[in-house]
Amino acid sequence: MQSQTTTRNDFGIELSDVTAQHPAASVSAPPAIQGLSLVIKPGEHVAIIGPSGSGKTSCLLVIAAALKVQSGNVALNHQSVWKLPTRKLQKLRSNLFYAPQTPPLPPRQRVITALLAAKLPGQSFFSSLMSLIYPRDIKGASEALMQFDLADKLWQRVDRLSGGERQRVGLARALLAPATIWLIDEPLSALDPTRARQAIESLITHAKEHGVTLITSLHQVDVATSQFPRVIGLRDGRLVFDLPSSEVSKELLADLYRQHEHELDQNTPVVLDSPPEPAPVKIIHCR
């Protein structure tokens, strides 16, 4: 496993005066990220908090080299990301693991296949095809699942899992990815508090062991301040504070969530551990 042998991580992240707009947004809408400057050292653990629509996801996408900046500069490992040719950029992306809030799991795929998909960047095309027929790293996949208390689901189909289980499978993928930077968007949104703590601890432990830079956006302010040494507060696409978690005061938080107080108070996450919704019915048109 590549991720377990590379304990050396020299991928520093440097954002300078970045302004970015989501490609689907209307031209008149304000940019999702405005004038953001950040330096994140290799192996750091950072939580990004802020009310809904504050640009947390966009910030992760910018670092993931998935959202092109309108102005400013994004440098990874001292390389300016958007000056790289497509091929090199794609190679660089294999060092980044971006986990979206909705886990990218095809409903009819087996859990093990969806997990091993995280290892694709380091694999040749042939061996990734063979892995579809006979999974290549059953042991690694089952160990990753075990971290999230899902070892028995290895051979299940994704559409048989509940929402919370899917989210944890999505997080287990990070453990398998050959990446040195994890960008994890709202990892706890569908988990109950116990599972949430277990999940975030698994991620942090693994990240520490392998020197992985861990950046997550979080809705749970208490988790952010208790588990992460550094907390970044975003509001309306702008940096409000970037502090060691011990210095994040109640006043700062109240200010950050002004007019969104319910998001701050409501620290018990919405429990979505409900039975899976039926697969969408696809209509076949006669062509």
Distance between CA atoms of 154 and 98, rounded to whole angstroms? 22
DSSP state of 258: T
Minimum CB separation of residue 249 from other proteins in Å reads 36
101 binds other proteins (CB under 8 A): no
51 binds other proteins (CB under 8 A): no
Distance between CA atoms of 179 and 202, rounded to whole angstroms? 16
Q: Which amino acid is present at 261?
A: E
Count of beta carbons in the 10 Å neighbourhood of residue 53: 14
135 binds other proteins (CB under 8 A): no
Q: Which stretch binds other proteins (CB under 8 A): 41-49, 60-68, 203-211, 212-220?
A: 60-68
3-state secondary structure of 137: coil
104 binds other proteins (CB under 8 A): yes
Q: Angle CA(102)–CA(148)–CA(272) in degrees, nearest 5?
A: 45
* Counts for the chain of helices (H) and strands (E), in that order: 11, 10
Interactions with other proteins, residue window 76-95 (CB under 8 A): 82, 86, 90-95
Strands (E), 29-180: 33-40, 45-49, 69-76, 79-80, 96-99
* Of 8 and 91, CB closest to other proteins: 91
Among 77, 123, 162, 198, binds other proteins (CB under 8 A): 123
Among 118, 200, 256, 264, binds other proteins (CB under 8 A): 118
Q: Which stretch binds other proteins (CB under 8 A): 1-9, 39-47, 98-106, 222-230?
A: 98-106
Minimum CB separation of residue 184 from other proteins in Å reads 12
232 binds other proteins (CB under 8 A): no
203 binds other proteins (CB under 8 A): no
